[in-house]
Amino acid sequence: MTLKRTVVFILAGGVGKRLSLLTRYRAKPAVSFGGKYRIIDFTLTNCIRSGIDEVYILTQYISRSLVRHIGIGKPWDMDRMTGGLHVLHPHLGYQAADWYRGTADAIFQNIPVLRKLDCENVLILSGDHVYLMDYREFIEFHEGSGKPASVGVVGVPKGMTSEFGIATVDRAGAITKFEEKPKESSGTLASMGIYLFNKEYLISLLEELEAKHGDLDFGKHVIPRLVSRKMISAFRFPGYWLDIGTLKSYYRASLELLAERPRLKLYRWSSPVLTAPDDSPPFVVTKEANISNSLVCNGCFVRGEVRSSILSPGVKIERGARVENSILFHDCTIGAGAEVYNAIVDKGCVVGARAKVGLGDAGVANELQPAYLDFGVTLIGKRTIIPAGVRIGTNCLVSGTIDDGIIPKRNLPDGGYFVAGEMRP
């Protein structure tokens, strides 16, 4: 069966507030994942592997690092004469223009782009998801469904329905009921937030709905309307899928990569996840080093002990240092004799010699962000310098340096924070 031509729009403009300091300087799709990847790499890799060669990325929130990472799409073979990859930022135009006010509003504002596309189908994806999926199966299902719209769904445990949009389907796969984040539900099929539309139908639907809702959102407005009209089917994706929603889910999903058989299949040589290349040398370990149950990237230099952790490119672990259950972003340095437990350490941080980070009572939630940081992990913001010898507890939030006056040379108890006023998330 020859599939009709499909063009992709990736929603990559969300603020990602629940990721706390990780999204203080970057859009959520640009957050590092699995050591060498950024979250959006998974979606872009899926596109090219599914034979899709025209992709529009809708950005809005701090897009610099995202745009820089994507470039002209070379790592994904998207640097093309025709089609290829394009970033669509909200812009001023001849007619009224505005920020993107909702997920569907972002597509609505780009209807002029949509109209010009030579394609039958429009696939709308999110830049915040971690999964490996061949969209051709989805497209094939959609074309066979006889409906103008389809949504990808995954099975979730009964207790977790309150975090998702839950669909109930009939035998043919048509959605009969859709509940947004229900406390309790008989259904267990969660919307993945990926949608496939007939292009012409999408345009007229958005134009119709935009008149009523300025902050047009797929989950809130578009999908319920399609369900009430019986115009949408659900495609059940059987694989692993994760929406990086909170700091907790980010931490859990990252460390799950260390499992004996992780659900995310990164180690298939024939279909690697594609990302921007880096020029670092292979990683170097010295005689005194000891590494176990960890992922280590190129450019790392390890003299200390590393257990159950992820080291992004360019991380240095000095002699006698110890890192456990932690995620270290690019170019961090852990000083001699320092200890880091249960921490997420953003790019370019330095933990001074003999400092101790992350041990303490996980029951004490963070003072500043109790909702996000209450699961026994300390978060250290980008380019923070932790002075030698200090102790930082667990559930702490730290961002800054001694020089900028944010971090005093003293210990920080569990649940505490050293964060500049204007930086407070």
Partner 1 sequence: MKTLVLILAGGTGEELSVLTRHRAKTAVPFGGRYRVIDFCLSNCVHSGLHEIAVLAQYSPKSLIDHIGMGKPWDLDRKTGGGYILQPTHNGEAATWYLGTADALFQNIDLIKNSKADTILVLSGDQIYVMDYRPLLGYHLEKGRAVTLAIKEVQASQRSRFGMVRRSRDGRITAFREKPAASTFRFASLGIYVFRRDFLIDALGPGKTNIVFDVVMPLLKCGDVAGYAFEGYWEDIGSIQSYYRSSLQLLRNRLLITDPDWPIFTKGNELPPARCADGSRVSDSIVADGCVVKGEVTGSILFPGVTVEKDAVVRDSIVFSYSRIGRGARVTRAILDKFVEIGGAATVGGGGRGRAAAPGARGAKRPQDETGGVAVLGRGARVSRGAGVRGGTLVEPHSRIGSRR
Residues 399 and 369 sit within 8 Å (Cβ to Cβ): no
Least CB distance to partner 1 at residue 291 (A): 4
Q: For residue 337, state whether it binds partner 1 (rule: CB under 8 A).
A: no
x/- track of binding to partner 1 for residues 125-164 (CB under 8 A) = ----------------------------------------
CB of 251 to partner 1, least distance (A): 17
Which of 421, 391, 389 lies closest to 406, judged by CA? 421
| 266 makes contact with partner 1 (CB under 8 A) | yes
404 vs 423: CA distance, rounded Å = 13
The enclosing H or E element of 138 equals: helix 135-145
Q: Please give the torsion angle defined by the CA atoms of residues 217, 221, 227 and 233, in that order, rounded to the nearest 10 degrees.
A: 0
Nearer to partner 1, 214 or 281 (CB): 281
The 8-class DSSP code of residue 282 comes to: P
Q: 253-268: buried (b, 16+ CB within 10 Å) or exposed (e) per residue?
A: bbbebbeeebebeeee
User: Does 279 contact partner 1 by CB under 8 A?
Assistant: yes
Q: Cβ of residue 400: shortest distance to partner 1, in angstroms?
A: 25
Q: What one-letter code names the amino acid at 229?
A: R
Q: Should residue 284 be labelled a site residue for partner 1 when binding is judged by CB under 8 A?
A: yes
328 has which bridge partners? 311, 345
Contact call for residue 317 and partner 1 (CB under 8 A): no
Residue 293 makes contact with partner 1 by CB under 8 A: yes
Using CB under 8 A, which of 144, 239, 277, 408 touches partner 1?
Answer: 277
Binding residue for partner 1, selected from 183, 267, 403, 410, defined by CB under 8 A: 267
Helix (H, G, I), strand (E, B) or coil at 99: coil
CA 197 to chain centroid, in Å, comes to 23
- The answer to whether 256 contacts partner 1 (rule: CB under 8 A) is no
> Which of 85, 88 has the CB closer to partner 1?
85
Asked if 304 is part of the footprint of partner 1 (rule: CB under 8 A), the reply reads no
Q: Should residue 77 be labelled a site residue for partner 1 when binding is judged by CB under 8 A?
A: no
Q: Which is nearer to partner 1, 176 or 290 (CB)?
A: 290
Specify the residue, 327 or 385, whose C-beta has the smaller distance to partner 1.
327
Closest to partner 1 by CB, 94 or 267: 267
- Pick the closest to residue 242 from 226, 256, 225, 231 (CA basis): 256
- Kindly state whether residue 298 participates in binding partner 1, applying the rule CB under 8 A: yes
Q: CA 264, CA 131: separation in Å to the nearest integer? A: 7
By CB under 8 A, is residue 327 in contact with partner 1?
A: no
* Cβ proximity of 12 and 40 under 8 Å: yes
Question: Which residues are within 8 A (CB) of 147 and not within 5 positions of it... i.e. 6 or more apart?
Answer: 174, 231, 232, 233
Q: Is 289 in the site for partner 1 (CB under 8 A)?
A: yes
Residues 6 or more apart from 405 whose CB is under 8 A from it? none
Q: Which stretch in 159-167, 197-205, 280-288, 342-350 sits in contact with partner 1 by CB under 8 A? A: 280-288
Q: C-beta of 334: minimal distance to partner 1 in Å?
A: 17
70 Cβ contact list (under 8 Å, min separation 6): 40, 44, 57, 85, 87, 276
Residue closer to partner 1, measured from CB, 103 or 275: 275
Decide if residue 283 touches partner 1 (CB under 8 A): yes
Is 80 among the residues that bind partner 1 (CB under 8 A)? Answer: no
Residues near partner 1 (CB under 8 A): 34-36, 75, 260, 266-267, 269, 272-275, 277-298, 301, 306, 310-311
